[in-house]
Structure 1
Amino acid sequence: MTAAIAAPAYDAIVIGSGIGGLVTATQLAAKGAKVLVLERYLIPGGSAGWFERQGYRFDVGASMIFGFGDRGTTNLLTRALADVGQALETIPDPVQIHYHLPNQLDLKVHRDYEAFLQELIAQFPQEAEGIRRFYDECWQVFNCLNAMPLLSLEEPKYLFNVFLQHPLACLGLVKYLPQNVGDIARRYIRNPDLLKFIDMECYCWSVVPATMTPMINAGMVFSDRHYGGINYPKGGVGRIAEKLVAGLEAKGSSIRYKARVTRILTEKGRAIGVELADGEKLYAKRIISNATRWNTFGELLPPQQEPAQEQRWQQRYRQSPSFLSLHLGVKADLLPAGTECHHILLENWDELEVEQGTIFVSIPTLLDPSLAPPDRHIIHTFTPSWLGEWDNLSPSEYRDRKAAAAAKLIQRLEAIFPGLSSAIDYQEVGTPRTHRRFLGRQNGTYGPIPRRKLAGLLGMPFNRTAIPGLYCVGDSTFPGQGLNAVAFSGYACGHRVAADLGLV
């Protein structure tokens, strides 16, 4: 549908205030652009938001945060805040994950790289050389990324300058662009349980096993946890979005809440503005969607305007599951000294990817006790779940199914937290319907995953779209899911839009 031409009031409008959208907005504002962020909910952050109940401050998503290091170039959250004059105190986590896996595979991914390797080698002594060679190759990828500023790969001037300054790092990344983790792991490793462990190492953030996880993404995750480390923001994950908003406003730009975009306006095929649910129309030189690509091209634009390249992308990628989330407040004496903040529980390898199979656990109060009342802890548990399990239920059916799913999760968690059921002080359940309602994500999806094995990251789209003036940012753009990955997407999008606006 075509809108009447109007003078743009903004340089850029960003639809959605997830971390990718906020990083884009703040990068543009830092370069002098006038930016408006439109958020459908009451607070910023999207999946990195929060909510408060009875003295508990719960993170909506996971609390395993990359990107808060103090050196190199991959510390994107530290840099994004600093670019708009903000900073956050963070708390280092000495262990990324404590795994509780089939065949009594129990181990911790220590922040110290050698300590992690030694613990893994102790479980698989016959694979000692292969373990070291595989994870050392992940470091090769990371070192290439960490040698250069991470901006838009769509901007020729940036690419040319980076290649001149870091030719070996660039060539190293080109080598790994078409490769997946599973192929490289199998060059060095034969033990099937160890290969399944590497599947889990990928699945815990990519929601696909190693054969479908790009090596560049794994190189970042598997190495940065030992380099920059996992660092929890004091006050909760929601503080990241709050600080980015403060920086955005300090730079003269703005955010509006309860502003649900229902349509992207176009004129002669070019994106020129947006229409809100109340009928208000706003115009900008550039429109940036932090919604998923399914929302962007399936809802905000009419089907007849879907570009052919988006149709091809949807043939290569599908929606990942959403999550069933269980937010618990528990008595502090439930957890013995030495309990780790993050856990993953799986009893049967065949259930890695099934409905409510793998269980993820975050206990952020072990790092920041201020998030809960005295003598209490937060246990946030989540497990993959599809909307089809929860849709088209009556209110009573929905309530009963949530209660049954929560009881089953609690029963399984008793294996690592004995006495959990009797220590619960507060309980709240979220489903894919919750994610769809509050985060505005189609089917509550976590993001895109390949329909079949693809060539590394080569299938992921960048920020520009086939519609002039329209850009996408977030987990359905390069390089994919995860807080630091969407921050990377935000940096890239901000740089690309700034170049198109003549600001760099």
Structure 2
Amino acid sequence: MLFDIGLLLNVRIQLGIILAVFCGYWIKKFFFRTETGKWKSPFAEDSRKPLTPLISDHAKRDETMKRAFTKKLANEKKWDAIVIGSGIGGLSTAALLSKAGMKVLVLEKHYKCGGACHTFRDDGYEFDVGIHYVGNFIRPTLTRTLLEQISDGQIQFAKFDNNVERLMLDAMSPSRREYTISSGPDAFENQLIKQFPDEAQGIKEFFRLLKRAYNPRGTMAWFATKLLPLWFNKVLQFFGLPRLLSDFYALGERSVKEAIESHVKNKDLQFLLSYSTAGFLAPPSRVCLSTMALLHVHCCEYGSCYPVGGASEMPYRIVPVIERSGGRVLMKAHVSQILTEGGKVVGVRVGNKENSMVDIHAPIVISDAGMQNTLLDLLPERVAKKSPAWPLMKTIKPSYGNISVFVGLRGTPEELGLTAQNIWIHNGSDLQKIVTESVAAPFQDVLAKPYPSFFLSSSAAKDPSWKNRYPDRSTLSILSTAPYSAFSQWSGPSTKKRGDDYNALKNAIGQNIIEQVTTLFPKLKNAIDYVTVGSPVTIEHYLSTREGGTYNMEHDMTRFGPEQSALLRPESGIEGLYFTGQDVITCGFASCLYSGFLCASVILKKRYRLLWELFNLHRKLYGLPEGRNDLFF
């Protein structure tokens, strides 16, 4: 029998169905009504412009990317909103509000704009620090339309090779195995069925679960909990409706490890199905199936791509949209405090020295600095405790950080064998054990043998504009997890002032990793021209994350349940203060882009109406999506 009629006799389910009908009416009445307010729609018209040539002149780019804070610039006009942080969450919020007519001031602590989207140059090389790949922005989806409208349509992307990922297991042992991950609809699933025919049924069942988890209807319910009033969320949770109506929440209760092991038995196959969880910097037992499914469809089902001109093209093309409406994006602006009066946010303070502090006032402050930094460091505790998210500040830990090894190479990508792929190197074949030991084992034990695992990416091979910008040179970015505790003693001093012991430790790790890389890829050994190594305290310094976490809050299962998701929302619960960035949704470029969208929709009092306006513009530009999966990813 396909449906158990007895379920309808359950009183709780009956009440839930009645409530669901009421929800539909209530949402339509209050969220889809036409608002007439001070601010116009950011999507009132198509703001794309004819594509302009790539700007490779560093001085010209720095005029936008490195405009320094001054008291005069900060107080040159009355601001409608202030954004703390210039990551993609902060910039997307600021751009949408600017397109609606607001004058927005963005304040960035770093000397360069962009957060994890920025790049750095040294000794004739350029490196990306956070954007090594993004999901498919080639297809006409709502996500691409959103990005086009806040960047004048100037950001172009290059698609990866069809074999988007390459994995090595037991990489430094005689039993090394190598696999590639194919991109395209159902390509990975079909590839695995050919490679592991005895596990065909389990593979099909697992991918069926993934498709349920990333169904747009379910992910829309996830977004909805972040916009619905908290009291309403609590009513829905009481009746169990989030898990009943959304597969994202229903399947989010299952870990990737449990789901895979219940379907397939082959150890290499289990590794291949779970490999992408390493991108969340958590072991498979602590990553929920739903978030893994989103990553799979965004980057594997339809392939990954890379911004032409490098990761800094994103902030470089968004900043002019903010400034066109009278806004500013200023660097070297360390916000030390959010100003409050009577429990209401009224502005920010830049600087922490009495003779140089500058107070800037605005009725709206948006934090892209992370919820923990905002509530624990920037606000008085008596005010911060008013936020419904306050209890989560102690229950959700910061994410793990990275060891980053940046390598400059003499020679072109073609000469060195570098490809437009992501390469995952693992010294073992048990991902759960590898990830756990890399952050939990005594660090000296980790250094005494081949480094457990790392990720390789070459922006030189992925970016078609690279050969014109940096002829006869290539780069390699190598990332791996590392415990903050091994470096915490050096968290205070600024870069280049942490002493010989710090440099010796991080360089020993870098050398360990480079020796493995050059063993696996011999062409690189004699081409190495430049090496620098970053640690979790490097991330802590430049991105201001707690404990050097790459992703602010940890991406484990508890964070993505309906109760926690409802609290991790744009509205802070403190009048005048809003959140954007990866804490609102999840890590990744597209997720941060949507965090800005959700934040702007609340501030503009449009909520779901703004999504409808984006959809209408998308429909005019590209027609109706062919299927539900063409909506977002």
**Quick check: TM above 0.5?**
yes
2:114–2:315 contact (8 Å) kept in structure 1? yes
Q: Which moved more, 1:249-258 or 1:210-219?
A: 210-219
Once the two structures are superposed, the pairs formed by residues 52-451 of structure 1 within 5 Å of their partners are 52-66=121-135, 68-73=137-142, 75-76=143-144, 78-94=145-161, 95-102=163-170, 104-144=176-216, 153-156=225-228, 171-173=246-248, 175-176=250-251, 178-204=253-279, 206-277=280-351, 278-307=356-385, 309-332=388-411, 337=417, 339-348=419-428, 349=430, 350-353=433-436, 354-355=438-439, 357-368=452-463, 370-371=465-466, 373-392=470-489, 395-446=499-550, 447-449=552-554
Would the aligned equivalents of 2:373 and 2:545 in 1 still touch at CA under 8 Å? yes
Q: Check conservation: 2:92, 2:597, Cα contact below 8 A.
A: yes
- 385-394 or 360-369, which moves further after superposition? 385-394
Contact 1:260–1:276 under 8 Å retained in 2: yes
CA contact (8 A) 1:144 1:170 kept: no
Taking the aligned partners of 2:363 and 2:180, their CA distance within structure 1 comes to 49
Find the residue that maps to 1:211 and give its secondary structure. Answer: helix
1:377-415 CA-to-partner distances (Å, cap 9, x unmatched) read 211001112332223355111222222111101012134
Residues 440-488 of structure 1: CA deviation (Å, up to 9, x unaligned): 22222112226775664642311111322211111222x2111111112
The 1-side partners of 2:410 and 2:255 are apart by: 43
Deviates more, 1:362-371 or 1:52-61: 362-371
Deviation at 1:224, TM superposition (A): 2.2
- Counterpart for residue 163 of structure 1: none
Compared CA separation, residues 383 and 322, structure 1 to 2 (3 A): same
TM-score w.r.t. structure 1 length?
A: 0.86
Match of 1:166?
A: none
| Pair 302,400 (structure 1): closer, same or farther in 2 beyond 3 Å | same
Q: RMSD of the alignment, in Å?
A: 3.3
**Pairwise mapping of residues 18-37 of structure 1 onto structure 2 (< 5 A)?**
18-37=87-106
Taking only the aligned residue pairs, the percentage that are identical comes to: 25
Shift of 1:200: 2.3
Aligned equivalents of 2:474 and 2:250: distance in 1? Answer: 45
- Counterpart Cα distance in 1 of 2:378 and 2:397: 19
Deviation at 1:126, TM superposition (A): 2.0
The change in CA–CA distance for 1:178 and 1:466 in structure 2 (over 3 A counts) is: farther
Distance 1:501 1:194, change over 3 A: closer
Contact 2:98 2:325 in 1 (8 A): yes
Amino acid at match of 1:437: H
Change (3 A) 1:183 1:27: farther
Amino acid corresponding to residue 425 of structure 2 in structure 1 = L
Cα distance, 1:329 vs structure 2: 1.2
How big is each residue's C-alpha offset from its partner over 1:269-298, in whole Å with a ceiling of 9 and x where there is no partner?
A: 111110000311112221111012221122
Aligned to 2:601: 495
Counterpart amino acid of residue 189 in structure 1: V
Q: CA deviation at 1:20?
A: 0.8
- 1:363 corresponds to which letter in structure 2? S
Using the size of structure 2 for normalisation, the TM-score is 0.70
Q: 2: CA distance between counterparts of 1:391 and 1:343?
A: 29
Asked whether the 8 Å contact 1:39–1:256 carries over to 2, the reply is yes
Q: 1:49 to 1:364 in 2, by over 3 A?
A: same
Contact residue 400 and residue 554 of structure 2 kept, 8 A: no
Q: Unmatched 5+ residue regions in structure 2?
A: 1-74, 233-243, 440-450, 491-497, 611-633
Q: Give the whole-Å Cα distance in 1 for the aligned partners of 2:152 and 2:105.
A: 19
SS at match of 1:425: strand
Q: Answer whether contact 1:410 1:420 (CA < 8 A) is retained.
A: no
Contact 2:249 2:561 in 1 (8 A): no
Question: CA 1:62 to 1:416, structure 2 compared with 1: closer, same or farther past 3 Å?
Answer: farther
- The structure 1 residue matched to 2:574, chosen from 467, 471, 484, is 467
After superposition, the Cα gap between the structure-2 partners of 1:258 and 1:338, relative to the gap in structure 1 and judged at 3 Å, is: closer
C-alpha deviation, 1:359, in angstroms: 0.3
C-alpha contact (below 8 Å) 1:475/1:481 kept by paired residues: yes
Q: CA deviation at 1:432?
A: 1.7
Amino acid at match of 2:453: T
Q: What is the alpha-carbon distance in structure 2 between the residues aligned to residue 52 and residue 491 of structure 1?
A: 31
Distance 1:209 1:20, change over 3 A: same
In structure 2, what is the Cα distance between the partners aligned to 1:319 and 1:149? 26
Q: Structure 1: 5+ residue runs without aligned partners? A: 1-5, 160-168
Residue identity in the other structure for 1:481: C
Between structure 1 and structure 2, the one with the greater Rg is 2
| Larger CA deviation: 133-142 vs 228-237 | 133-142
Change (3 A) 1:404 1:421: farther
Give 1:240 shift: 0.7
Identify if the C-alpha distance between structure 1 residues 50 and 387 changes in structure 2 by more than 3 Å, giving closer, same or farther: same
Alignment length, in residue pairs? 487
**Amino acid across the alignment from 2:398:** Q
Structure 2 CA distance for aligned equivalents of residues 442 and 338 of structure 1: 34
Distance 1:342 1:83 in 2: 28
Aligned-partner SS, 1:28 = helix
State the alpha-carbon separation in 1 of the partners of residues 309 and 151 from structure 2.
20
Q: Distance in 2 between matches of 1:93 and 1:471?
A: 36
Question: For 2:580 and 2:207, how far apart are their aligned partners in 1?
Answer: 30
SS at match of 1:285: coil
Name the residue aligned to 1:164.
Answer: none
8 A contact 1:152–1:492 mirrored in 2: no
Once residues 220 and 573 of structure 2 are traced to their aligned partners in structure 1, the CA distance between those partners, rounded to angstroms, is: 28
Letter of the 2:405 partner, please give it.
L
Q: What amino acid is the match of 2:154?
A: A
Query: Contact conserved, 2:418 with 2:461, CA < 8 A, in 1?
Result: no
Matched residue SS, 2:130: coil
Residue 588 (structure 2) aligns with: 482
Aligned-pair distance for 1:363? 0.8
Equivalent position SS for 1:380: strand
Give the aligned residue type for 1:428.
Answer: T
Spell out, residue by residue over 1:313-333, the C-alpha distance to the aligned partner (whole angstroms, 9 max, x if none).
134311112111111111337
